[in-house]
Amino acid sequence: MRNALPIILAMTLAACATAAPEDMLAKDATPATHTEANGDVITEYRSDNRLTMVKVVPARGATYYIYDRNGDGVIDERDSKGGPMTYYKLFSW
């Protein structure tokens, strides 16, 4: 039984793994990367000259992604008063 626990744990973690956000973009998405003065690296992904995703790798902190969910080329907001919906990549293996 003790030997089964690591196997079950490994199978559970493998089932929870998802594809990288960059892998879910359209094949024709072109990245444009620039570095801000504070050290943040920002990559914008465009498909047919429309912004589809922004990846931000801060100098300190977790990488996060901002998406255009409805395809209009404008980053989506939570509501009229809120900022963009931000998705963090907390774990990877």
Q: What is the pLDDT, as a whole number, of residue 7?
A: 55
The verdict on residue 11 lying in a domain is no
The verdict on residue 46 lying in a domain is yes
Q: What is the pLDDT, as a whole number, of residue 47?
A: 87
Q: Domain range for residue 62? A: 19-88
What's the structural domain count of the chain? 1
Q: What is the domain-level CATH number for residue 51? A: 2.20.130
pLDDT per residue as tens, the chain (93 positions): 556 555 555 554 444 456 677 777 778 889 999 999 999 999 999 988 888 888 999 999 888 888 887 777 777 666 555 556 666 766 666
Cα–Cα distance measured from residue 30 to residue 32, given in angstroms and rounded to the nearest whole number: 7
Separation in Å, CA 87 to CA 24, 62, 74: 14, 10, 16
The verdict on residue 9 lying in a domain is no
The verdict on residue 41 lying in a domain is yes
Bridge partners, residue 56, by sequence: 42, 64
The verdict on residue 8 lying in a domain is no
User: pLDDT by residue (tens digit) across 13-30?
Assistant: 444 456 677 777 778 889
Cα–Cα distance measured from residue 43 to residue 6, given in angstroms and rounded to the nearest whole number: 38
